[in-house]
Amino acid sequence: MVVPNLCQAAFAMLRQIEPIIVLEQLGSTLFDTALQMVVWDRCANATDPGHSSEDAQQKAMTDFYMINNLIIQLTPIFPALFLARLSDRGRRKAPIVSPLTGYLLSRVILLLVVVLKLPLQVMFAAGAVLGLSGGFTAYWPGVMTLASLGSTAADRSKVLMRVEFMYGLAGVVGSLASGHLFHLYSSSLGHGTILLIISTLLHLLCLLHSIFLLQVKGVSDGEPEENRHLLLRASTNSSVVEAPVEINRVNVALLFVAAILYDFAVGGAIEVLGAFVLRAPLSWNATLVGYGNAAGCVIFLTSYIGVIGFRRCCSDTSLILIGMVSFAVGIYFMSFVTTTLTFYLARALTLFALIPMTTIRSLLSQQVPASSCGMTLTFLQLALKFASLAYIPAFTKIYQGTLDWFPGFVFTLASIFTVLGMTPISIIGCRSPQRWQYEKI
């Protein structure tokens, strides 16, 4: 009786969303390291009059990522909205299966670029394919919605926290292994091919799992309205509060400004960080790149642990400010990094950097009537998408222009924008401090 029960429990676990989260994140972290090293290698022969060969290589690499990231940021907007609409109509797998198909195809394209020596610009098509499939913009809300549907109202917060934790943990494991896998080499394959094959197989397994094994809880027409729109609750970890009758326009505007400024700072800094660690004096190889990416995933874990700890004694606005101060100090310190040790010290200072955006979304949901929550959060997401049109090229060009005299200037700039983003949050806290306390747990 014990063995059949264990098998039944294992099969039930396989039909949940968690295996997909782990497989996808493992595959993505392997892909990210592979792409970074492939781009660096392909840009090795770049030239730029008046600049050293290393600066020319840096310019070529950041130009590639600028175009590629703009494609990935903008193309998913309308597909993600369409997939979200399908999900609301009962096709809960659509926002999962479609992006996973795009992920798989983009990994196959990079594998072909490496094996067949195709031009690096082919990866722009891979970015477009990923975006048109919905990309992460559709995938993650779909994951969180399914996780919510599979839990009771009482356990929902814990389930979503477990999902976030598993996502970060899988990222740490994948990143740590990625650099070592990149160095696996044979005369017929070359560096990075085995890493990309493993990444592609993980995404293929993930896609097949989502099609054939993933169990989706249906939502009947008679189900209460509060259970039909779980995306809002999936995007927050706050306690349930009573929605206001009218929109608090001042607070909404201040939260939008804070979110855009903070996203501008974080997105801009991360945009050039991958190239920064590959140039002298750091000059990282694939193994160190993987370790650095793992440090980024650890921040994902520490931020959510921080929410659990700080919410017992801090208000929402205090939580946001803690996260912003953490990032501002860490990214400012990154401006002066010259060794691998100081890089990790700077990363350690940003351990709560992911708290602000989650909490800002939570606060936004408390400023508008329940009927307007989904639209408000959608407008915020669109605002952040269009903000990327500014910060991606701006930070890229500033980084390229300061390579000769202060390569870390963009990180100082990101710190300044973060401090500016703290101002609207401080105003909100001063306007109505008594309303922003988390429920004690």
- Residue pLDDT, tens place only, 14-59: 778 899 999 999 999 999 999 999 999 999 988 888 788 989 999 9
- pLDDT for residue 429 is more than 50: yes
Overall domain count for the chain: 2
168 and 314 both lie in a single domain: no
Cα–Cα distance list, 155 to 83, 237, 306 (Å): 27, 12, 20
Q: What is the C-alpha to C-alpha distance for residues 27 and 100, in angstroms, rounded to an integer?
A: 11
307 and 197 share one domain: no
pLDDT in tens, 306-332: 988 888 888 889 999 999 999 999 999
269 in the same domain as 160: no
- Average per-residue pLDDT for the chain: 86
Residue 245 near residue 411, CB atoms below 8 Å: no
Instruction: Break the chain down into helix, strand, coil percent, rounded to 5.
Output: 75, 0, 25
- The answer to whether residue 113 scores a pLDDT higher than 60 is yes
Residues 208 and 259 reside in one and the same domain:
no
pLDDT tens column, 346-373: 999 999 999 999 889 878 878 877 666 6
Q: Note the pLDDT of residue 151.
A: 67
| Cα 244 from Cα 290, distance rounded (Å) | 46
Same domain, 284 and 368: yes
**CATH of residue 356:** 1.20.1250.20
User: Do 111 and 155 belong to one domain?
Assistant: yes
pTM of the model: 0.88
Q: Does any domain span residue 148?
A: yes
- What's the CA gap between 362 and 233, in Å, rounded? 9
Residues 210 and 257 in one domain: no
User: Tokens 């590629």 sit at which residue?
Assistant: 68
Q: In the predicted model, is pLDDT for residue 190 greater than 80?
A: no
Query: Would residue 253 count as lying in a domain?
Result: yes
Q: Residue 390 and residue 147: Cα distance in Å, rounded?
A: 34
Supply the range of the domain harboring residue 158: 11-46+53-215
Please check whether residues 136 and 209 belong to one and the same domain.
yes
Q: Quick one: pLDDT at residue 209?
A: 95
In a domain, 295, yes or no: yes
Query: Are 16 and 164 within one domain?
Result: yes
d(CA 334, CA 328): 10
Share of the chain above pLDDT 90, in %: 59
* In contact, 66 and 392? CB cutoff 8 Å: yes
Question: Does 437 map to a domain?
Answer: no
Query: How wide is the angle at C-alpha 298 spanned by C-alphas 301 and 305, nearest 5°?
Result: 25
- CB-based contacts of 62, cutoff 8 Å, min separation 6: 271, 272, 275, 396, 399, 400
Per-residue pLDDT tens over the stretch 264-293:
999 999 999 999 999 999 999 999 999 999
With beta carbons less than 8 A apart as the criterion, state whether 139 and 99 touch: yes
Q: Are residues 211 and 259 in the same domain?
A: no
The answer to whether residue 80 sits within a structural domain is: yes
Q: Is the pLDDT of residue 121 over 80?
A: yes
Question: Domain check: are 180 and 36 in the same one?
Answer: yes
| Tokens at 340, concatenated | 């691998």
Within a domain: 315: yes
Report d(CA 300, CA 175) in Å as an integer: 13
**Per-residue pLDDT band at 202 (split at 50, 70, 90):** very high
- The 10s digit of each residue's pLDDT in 64-98 is 999 999 999 999 989 988 998 888 788 889 999 99
Secondary structure (3-state) at 238: coil
Residue 136 forms part of a structural domain: yes
Is residue 118 in a domain?
yes
Which of 191, 215, 239 lies at the terminal end of a domain, its last residue? 215
Predicted confidence band of residue 237 (pLDDT cuts 50, 70, 90): very low
Of 5-14, 53-62, 73-82, 98-107, where does mean pLDDT reach its minimum?
5-14
232: Cβ contacts below 8 Å, ≥ 6 apart: 365, 373, 374, 377
**Same domain membership, residue 252 and residue 206:** no
pLDDT band at 3 (very low <50, low <70, confident <90, very high): low
